[in-house]
Structure 1
């Protein structure tokens, strides 16, 4: 299909995931200048617009009306309109409606311009202390226990860092399932209420995450959670003597895990990476 001369533009505009100051100058400018804004929840988006004194036309665009609204928005774009696509929070399309609209835009040669911005998964990953070189995003875990357990079991030997979303209602049951299906010694990080008042980022082996959550009700009764799970690492036959373990154990009482591993590896002239893998799985 030929490119239409007067075809408009679809802007993918990330919005803050909590702290309103995380919006970019460019996002504000686009939201002011487009002809209309397609949003998940008009009332929710209006709060953001009012905060920045932005006045514009809003159209509801969510998982319940996505198919119906796709054709309407595409026609508006073909007629030269500029439209901003936003979600309730974060980068649109990531676990939210919109990819079908974008697919149609590409099909009809309508220009799509993405803006960089907030994303809970990436924000949490950056602060997790878990390897970021290779990772996979799984979105929200299934609500049904059997389906959730089957998925977790299938990922037991996934070598990449894994990122999930989970609601406050299922976080305790999900951690139990992670312990049963992936292992109690696997290192995981919980990032809750990122950028908000109750923001907490905590990492430990899976078996110690559960009591940590339960000891304070604020850790499971507010907002959504990002769960980051360290990828599977096959433990090689590493010769770790009792002497090495004793050195590490003494240092660990006063230093961080990273520092204890580093100093122990230097003292005993062994691989830092091998020692780290060993203590994560056997001691920590």
Structure 2
């Protein structure tokens, strides 16, 4: 699927993850959304077998190309824009955006800049000394009843929003609408027919037609649909004339 974001310029950075299974699951989530670059900083356990078990065969390449650093500052050095994820907000922290707002910024920035999305340890998240490297902060909204997210879940939410924001808008079919000439002829015909069957007040039919005009304007009639409505009117006209003058053949065009 074509994406306006340059996903090759986006990297998921995991700072001090505790469990290799979470690294593997994060790699899988990132690849699901077209992100292939993963950086791990000072992991507590780097068991490759346990990582690959959660990454599955599909994301083996993300684990295989994963970069591992001992120091966060060094790991973040190549990036021009760093997004820090945090569940904690407060008066001492900068303005915190939601994932969709951040994703919209990333689409344009990713074309000419290296972007890092930084996640903290599972037990406490990122501290202020780590968030100082970030250009913006983001919090994933959750229910107050249970706000804790698994690391891989958080990676998936952020990766999904970036992918979604950059997704090309599919072309939609726009039908050719009826012309004003066709519509006005239809309204004249409707007014005549509805007056004939006493559906509208013959003393002021234009007033009663206003509601029908508004109704059809909201729909946006196509020329084919105008012909159908006029065909219904002709059939009503024929039926009314038949009642008054006796049987005759209806108009062949309906």
- TM-score relative to the length of structure 1: 0.24
Please identify which structure carries the higher helix content.
2
Q: Indicate the structure whose relative CO is greater, using CA pairs within 8 Å and at least 6 residues apart.
A: 2
Please identify which structure carries the higher strand content.
1
- TM-score relative to the length of structure 2: 0.26
